[in-house]
Structures are given as C-alpha cells and as structure tokens.
Amino acid sequence: MRRVSIAEIMRESGLSRATVDRVLNNRGNVHPRTRTVVEETIRRLSTPELASSPDEKAPAVDMVLRLGRGMTEQLRTTWDRIGAVGQFRDMYQAQEADLLPVIQELCQNPDRPLIMAVKNTDRLVARLREARARGKRVVAFISDLAPEARDVFVGIDNRAAGQTAAFLIGRALGDRPTPVGVVLGDPAFRCHEDREIGFRTALRAHFPKVVLSGEALGEDNPGLTRDAVTRLLKEQPALGAIYNVGGGNQGLVEALMSAGRAHDLLLVGHETNSITLPLLREGHMDFAIAQNPAALLSDALQRAVAEPEGRGRDSVLLDFGVFTRFNIPAFAQAAATPPP
C-alpha cells in the first residue's frame, strides 16, 4: 500500500480540498456517501494493481464502449493513466452487425472479465447469457443491460438523473404553461430510456403546466441531432427548454444557433468533457448532469476482477452532480482539450 496525497484524492474524486480535509480529519458535517467516495478513492489509489503505474501482474480486463467522443476520450485517458491491462475497444457509432463479432471474440476466453457500455439488444443479451453460463464475468457500465446479461451494473441512477433534469427545467420556467422538448439518443440504451422515463414522470408529477411537446431522435450523432432538433424547432417554435438524454450536444447547439434560440432556450444535458465544456463556458448549455468518469472506471475495474460473493450487489450507483459554467468540476478540467 502506498501513501496517497490530498491532491490525488481531489483529482480522482472531484471533491474540494476542504471536503477531503473534513473527511480525513473527522471534522463532521460530511455526508456518508461523500465519506465513502473518499475512502474508496484512497483504497483504489493505494492498491498497487490499480495505481497509476502499469503492473504486469494486474488482471486483464477487456472494455467495449459505444459512447460519445467526449466520454470515450475521458475513459481512454483514465485507462492509460492507471495502466489497465486488456483491450480497450472504441465502438463509436458502431452498428450491431459490427459490434456482435467483437463481443463474440472477447467472449471466447471466459476467464477475462468484460466491461461494456452498449445497447441492450436481444442478440447481444443472448451472447452474453451464453458467455456467463461458461463463467464469463460481465460488468454493465454507464448503461445497464438485461439482468441475465451481466453480473453487476456500475453507473449512476439514470432515472434520478432524468428527474433532476425535470426539476431544473420546471423550477426555472416557473408556474406557467410552457412546452418543452426532449432529445433522445436510442431507447436500446437503458440509460437513455431510464432518463427519459424519469424526466417525463417528474414533469407530470411536479410541474403539470410544463408540457413535453416534442421529441428529436439524434442517436448520439452530432449531425443527426442537429437535423432532428432543427425539425423540432420548426414544429414547436414556442419551446422553452430542451433536455438531451444522451450525446450529440454540439449538433444540438448548432441547431439552436441557426434558429436564433441559443440564448433564450434552457438547455440541460449530460457529461462534462471536451465537447460539453465549451458549450457550458460559452453559455450555450445551462446545466450538465455528470459524474466523475475516472471514479466510474476504477469502480468498474474493481467489480470486474472481484470474486463474487453469492449474488453480490446487483448495482453500484455512484453520485452525480449538476454543473454550470460557474462550478465546472475538477475532474473535467483535463477534458478541456478536444479529442483527436
């Protein structure tokens, strides 16, 4: 075990120096979840096989990501920095026909755990079910999979994230009839589905005058998102806010700017990375719901190599925050440089 500095804990957890100091010195006024984050961060950084220098004895774990460019780059940087051993497969915008052979290949070895952020499709679930029957350990990452397709899910409470977006929009618009829109990625992503459900139910329950009047299907693609939002604004010119459950934020903002709506329409999205940080700083995105991707990945790696204890924990949910241009988190600063 090695000694961990406060600066390292701050960088990995996204917490302030004052908060870390309160936890380490038992000064009180610390939420139990915050204490858990600090303790898990210390354990992760002080464990040799998960430290920043590569270790040839570290267990091999494979990762497959079908995510947006900004989030994938954050995870790739963390993967390289901690010296993770295994294959890192970036499957950006890959179709199922391209993805399935990769999964089939990685499932040939049942002894190597697999971490995945992919769509929850029937054929994929069938392959993972077969692999798990042969001893393969599967971690659903960021977006959940069917229970029979994975051992554990590591991510955030996505339904709560959607409810949070509804609260931000509902409180900002006030008690007056206002139409709002939602940009959908792909319902095959369980995280997108859960966020949309949380958003709809929270609006209906708490802000009945705020009416969800239109949808745009962007599939996490900037170009498709731009075109879909352009059509949505033409169909619903009175929209007061938009919630984007997934990626494609650059295209969304381009559509708002072309329509002259970049500064008079409230925009809530997800993640703080090289794509969204400029949008936040320039005032095009009002709120970003995000979590520390380094903490997510480190926890997923731990769950991947841990020996299951019975059924173990079905889901590991990390905290998320709401960020604006005034409180950009420390963990996002490294994402300021756009990915290649």
List the single range of 34-43, 289-298, 329-338 with lowest mean pLDDT. 329-338
The end-to-end CA distance of the chain, in Å, is 36
Q: How far is CA 98 from CA 86, 103, 123, in A?
A: 20, 9, 13
Beta bridge partners of 139: 115, 152
| Protein fold of 158-290 | Rossmann fold (3.40.50)
Q: Using one digit for the tens of pLDDT, what is the confidence trace for 272-283?
A: 999 999 999 999
Section 254-259 average pLDDT: 97
Is the model's pLDDT at 144 over the cut of 70?
Answer: yes
Section 244-254 average pLDDT: 96
What pLDDT, on the 0 to 100 scale, is given for residue 119? 94
Section 327-332 average pLDDT: 86
Residue 141 corresponds to which tokens in the numbers above?
């990452």
Is the model's pLDDT at 319 over the cut of 60?
Answer: yes
Is the model's pLDDT at 216 over the cut of 60?
Answer: yes
What pLDDT, on the 0 to 100 scale, is given for residue 285? 97
Residue ranges per structural domain of the chain: 6-46, 49-156+292-336, 158-290
Section 229-256 average pLDDT: 97
- What's the CA gap between 51 and 168, in Å, rounded? 38
Is the model's pLDDT at 336 over the cut of 80?
Answer: no
What pTM value is reported for the model? 0.81
Confidence of residue 55 (pLDDT cuts 50, 70, 90): very low
**186 or 284, higher pLDDT:** 284
Superfamily of domain 49-156+292-336: Response regulator (3.40.50.2300)
Is the model's pLDDT at 309 over the cut of 70?
Answer: no
Is the model's pLDDT at 339 over the cut of 50?
Answer: no
Q: What is the mean pLDDT of the chain?
A: 88
Residue 170 near residue 200, CB atoms below 8 Å: no
Long-range residue pairs from 110-114, CB within 8 A, at least 24 positions apart, any chain:
110/134, 110/135, 110/136, 111/135, 112/60, 112/61, 112/62, 112/86, 112/136, 113/59, 113/61, 113/62, 113/137, 113/138, 113/139, 113/304, 113/305, 114/61, 114/62, 114/63, 114/64, 114/138, 114/139, 114/304
Q: Do domains 49-156+292-336 and 158-290 have the same CATH topology?
A: yes
What share of the chain has pLDDT > 90, as a percent? 67
Section 98-108 average pLDDT: 94
- Between β-strands 321-323 and 287-290, what pairing exists: parallel, antiparallel or unpaired? antiparallel
